[in-house]
Structure 1
Amino acid sequence: MSVTRHDVTFDSDGDLCAGWLYLPDGVERPPVVVLGHGLGATREMRVAAFAERFAEAGIAALAFTHRNFGDSGGAYRQVVSLKEQLDDWEAALAYVKARPDLDGARVAVWGSSLGGGNAIVVASRHPELAAAVAQCPFTSGLATSLALGPVSSAKLLPAVVADLVAQARGAAPVLVPLAGETGAKALMAGPGVIEDCQSLMPTGETFRNEASARIVPTIALSRPGRAARKVQAPILFCVCDRDTVTPPGPTLRYARRAPRGEVRTYSASHFDIYVGEQFEAAVADQTEFLLRHLVR
């Protein structure tokens, strides 16, 4: 099915979130899925690839970028705020439900990595949703912090303190690398992580490898997976069994508590699922799941 992509914006607490709305040509008032990205990412980093495939199957898709990142608004660039991100999701849902060319009664959410945790929380707050997808989701701050390792965590600590002081003073944020090699001062560290992040960018575009350090304690204390037991909609967990960024163990335990949860596992690392064979496997599973629950 042919697809038309539209550049859109919507208001989130006075700032504009930018997005791409993919509409399947010739489908009157299609169902819609809202897609959100991971830590420090933007919709360009392969989120749009999933959105386009869903639209080709007849499901409209809104891939958006959180405030403070990419071409979205926000006063402090590269600042990750879980509260603001969840507010952005609420604004995105309100936007698609208000569009007369979409079926606001058939709405799903899709999130990957940190966005996967957001999707679980949002779905737990919206029993009216038709479905949800959480891909390699961030579900346990403790597990993610342990996976980062003590060396990287110790190297981040001075920047975290400095950024919290800057936040209290209303000063510019203290930024640290998002990605780095094992033991590096970075929010995600491991072999090839920088190259993996860059590989998700469109050809010719550069991955902005920095984010505010203040997010570290918030992530460490966050447990979005706990909300899975409150999700009334069908929810699909797509889990990478070699994931060292968002470890699979806690996610599989939380998934079992979801009343209508389904699980698909992939022999993949955290970033493998965005490209190549693992992308094809995951997007096929997700498309089948969304069609099953959104198209009637």
Structure 2
Amino acid sequence: MNTPRDDVWFNSGSDRISAWLYRPEGNDHAPLLVMAHGLGAVRTMRLDAYAERFRAAGYACLVFDYRNFGDSEGAPRQLLDIRMQLQDWTAAVAYARTLPGIDPDRIGLWGTSFSGGHVIATAARLPGIAAVVSQCPFTDSIASLGAMNPLVSARITALATRDLVGARFGASPVMVPTAGNPGEIALMTAPDAYPGFLKLVPDGTELRNEVAARIGVKILPYRPGRLAAKVPCPILFCVCENDSVAPSGPTRRYAATAPRGEVKLYPEGHFEIYVGDAFERVIADQLEFLARVLPTG
């Protein structure tokens, strides 16, 4: 009898990536969804809720933490590097294709927030991806930075510059909070950001609410939504209409360029989609989409 979840490891670069592997019962040639979280977040922040529902519907899931985060190896800790995270996605897909009982030709990607952009970029450049779900995705750095308080943005830029200079001389990273209240210095400071971020943290769990500040500068060229036009497989964009972190307008425009793109809209903010009634609606839409484009049979 299959266990609901196993702890597994795979290599990315010189580090080991920690992951959960969910296997559905009664399916020895199952499609698999590779899954990871958003900006500074780890898999324990509600990704198990999604994976359990996908598993119940017949999908295997590989849910991983990026290098430098969570239970994965890598140093310095809390260093968010876009290039490395995209490499982690490539390594995860390669590992998934070697797993016994998994159909290597039916590998899908599921990403949310910052990883919602990563799955667009990964599907655009990695051959053979069967389907993509991109939830409340970060698609455009300019749009997201434009939604920030200019004074906060300026302070983050200063911290990022200090971090980059220090890194050249081997200094420890300068940290900046991932989420904070309005007016505080943090990467996400919309009114719903800090309480929404905390809602994702399991009771009794301590979470490092910080990342190396250099991402505040290095994020500028990253506009993964522009790659939607190059995603050949079916891709579902689950867009929050009142998204204060990843504005919906640019995402909807990018989604319209995807050859096999579909869009579902939700009248919620960025963090509401993970819990409660909004979660139930989004997971139902994702399962309906997957049943059509990546059937389990």
Give the shorter-chain TM-score range. Answer: over 0.9
Query: Using the alignment, how far apart are the partners of 1:192 and 1:240 within structure 2?
Result: 13
In structure 1, what is the equivalent of residue 235 of structure 2?
235
Counterpart amino acid of residue 215 in structure 1 = I
In structure 2, what is the equivalent of residue 95 of structure 1?
95
Query: Using the alignment, how far apart are the partners of 2:47 and 2:148 within structure 1?
Result: 24
Contact 1:180 1:193 in 2 (8 A): yes
Deviations 1:120-173 (A, max 9, x none): 000101241110011010100001001112021122132111100122223211
Q: Secondary structure at the match of 2:97?
A: helix
In structure 2, what is the equivalent of residue 150 of structure 1?
150
Gaps of 5+ in 1: none
Query: Using the alignment, how far apart are the partners of 1:49 and 1:14 within structure 2?
Result: 30
Change beyond 3 A, Cα 1:107–1:293: same
Query: Using the alignment, how far apart are the partners of 2:192 and 2:134 within structure 1?
Result: 24
Q: Secondary structure at the match of 1:4?
A: coil
Contact 1:3 1:56 in 2 (8 A): no
In structure 1, what is the equivalent of residue 58 of structure 2?
58
Q: Secondary structure at the match of 2:110?
A: strand
Counterpart amino acid of residue 178 in structure 1 = T
In structure 1, what is the equivalent of residue 11 of structure 2?
11
The more displaced of 214-223 and 6-15 is 214-223
How far the C-alpha of 1:187 sits from its partner, in A, is 0.6
What is the Cα-based RMSD across aligned positions, in Å? 1.2
In structure 1, what is the equivalent of residue 162 of structure 2?
162
Contact 2:192 2:271 in 1 (8 A): no
Q: Give every structure 1 segment of 4 or more consecutive aligned residues whose post-TM-superposition deviation is greater than 4 Å.
A: none
Gaps of 5+ in 2: none
In structure 2, what is the equivalent of residue 176 of structure 1?
176
How far the C-alpha of 1:72 sits from its partner, in A, is 0.6
Q: Percent identity?
A: 49
In structure 1, what is the equivalent of residue 294 of structure 2?
294
Query: Using the alignment, how far apart are the partners of 1:89 and 1:198 within structure 2?
Result: 25
Contact 1:16 1:73 in 2 (8 A): yes
Counterpart amino acid of residue 202 in structure 1 = P
Query: Using the alignment, how far apart are the partners of 1:3 and 1:239 within structure 2?
Result: 33
In structure 1, what is the equivalent of residue 104 of structure 2?
104
Query: Using the alignment, how far apart are the partners of 2:141 and 2:192 within structure 1?
Result: 22
TM-score normalised by length of structure 1: 0.97
Deviations 1:177-221 (A, max 9, x none): 111111211011121422211110112112321101000122222
Query: Using the alignment, how far apart are the partners of 1:173 and 1:142 within structure 2?
Result: 24
Query: Using the alignment, how far apart are the partners of 1:180 and 1:201 within structure 2?
Result: 15
Q: Secondary structure at the match of 2:102?
A: coil
Counterpart amino acid of residue 42 in structure 1 = V
The more displaced of 163-172 and 271-280 is 163-172
How far the C-alpha of 1:3 sits from its partner, in A, is 6.1
Counterpart amino acid of residue 171 in structure 1 = A
Deviations 1:261-296 (A, max 9, x none): 000000110000000001000111111111212224
Counterpart amino acid of residue 23 in structure 2 = L
In structure 2, what is the equivalent of residue 123 of structure 1?
123
Query: Using the alignment, how far apart are the partners of 1:157 and 1:103 within structure 2?
Result: 45
Contact 2:157 2:217 in 1 (8 A): no
How far the C-alpha of 1:40 sits from its partner, in A, is 0.2
Task: Confirm whether residue 271 of structure 1 aligns to residue 271 of structure 2.
Answer: yes
